[in-house]
Amino acid sequence: MKVGVAGASGQMGGLAASTLLEADGMHLIGLYDAHTSGNIGGVPISQDRSALDGCDVIVEFSRPEVVMGNLEVWRQYGANVVVGTSGFDADRLAELEDLWGNGPANCLVVPNFSIGAVLMMKIAELVGPHYPVSEIIELHHDRKADAPSGTAIATARRIAEVSPDQTRDIDSEELYGGALGAEVEGVRIHSVRLPGLVAHQRVVFGGDGEVLTISHDTIDRSSFMPGMMLAVQSIQGQATPLAVGLEGVLGL
């Protein structure tokens, strides 16, 4: 399988490139980054998108503000694309649906490559109907490009689907705007950005006389690579041209 990586100079893009370089059955033929040159394992990082022309699969880790332009080009190349870039809210997914249409290749948008995080979201979806209200606290390193995280947004949406009426009796006045969190489809999200963190999330469900917390911690980015590899290996057989999340890959 001929593979390439966009956003190869970033932390995740560089890690993905190094992992693919060593993987059996994978031939890393190109790396692209709009602003940075160099090489990974002897494979040059090009500032020209054409370096990825001819790839069977492109792993996309570019920044949110440029990813849609890249995806338009990868579609023209006829490449399957695994998207790890954050920021795919409902509006951007609708834009991608219009762009990608019926192919010709497949596109998989992955809010989180951590298998543990995917299981956390599934568990939150199972718990949601049994509690009247929930909130999400997500904590990431201070260089993360967006807030809330894609994982937090995806979790909130999944809870809202099964528990649309988030019932609160809040008497508190926000003395400072945002103190009570941002609201995503009725579920409130609190974002923390600090050096020393990687990726962490708490989903807190409140009910009469009890609280249930689902917690997941990523302590090293290497935990994202098994999920990334599963996505790359499976995307050519994906059932629909556009899909979101690893759930289908994992049989969830």
Which residues are the active-site residues?
Answer: 140, 144
Identify the CA nearest to 57 among candidates 28, 85, 84, 33: 28
Sheet containing strand 57-60, edge to edge, reads 38-40, 43-46, 27-32, 2-6, 57-60, 80-83, 107-109, 242-244
- Residue 148, preceding bond cis, omega within 30 degrees? yes
Whether the CB-CB separation of 85 and 63 falls below 8 Å is answered with yes
- What count of residues does the chain have? 252
Percentage helix, strand, coil for the chain under 3-state DSSP, each rounded to 5: 35, 25, 35
Backbone angles phi, psi at 199, to 5 degrees: -150, 125
The set of residues, in sequence order, having a beta carbon less than 8 Å from that of 196 and lying 6+ positions away, is: 141
DSSP state of 129: G
CA distance 234 to 108: 10
One-letter amino acid identity for 207? G
**How many Å apart are CA 126 and CA 39, to the nearest integer?**
44
How does 4-38 read in b/e, with b if 16+ C-beta sit within 10 Å?
bbbbbbbebbbbbbbbbbebeebebbbbbbbeeee
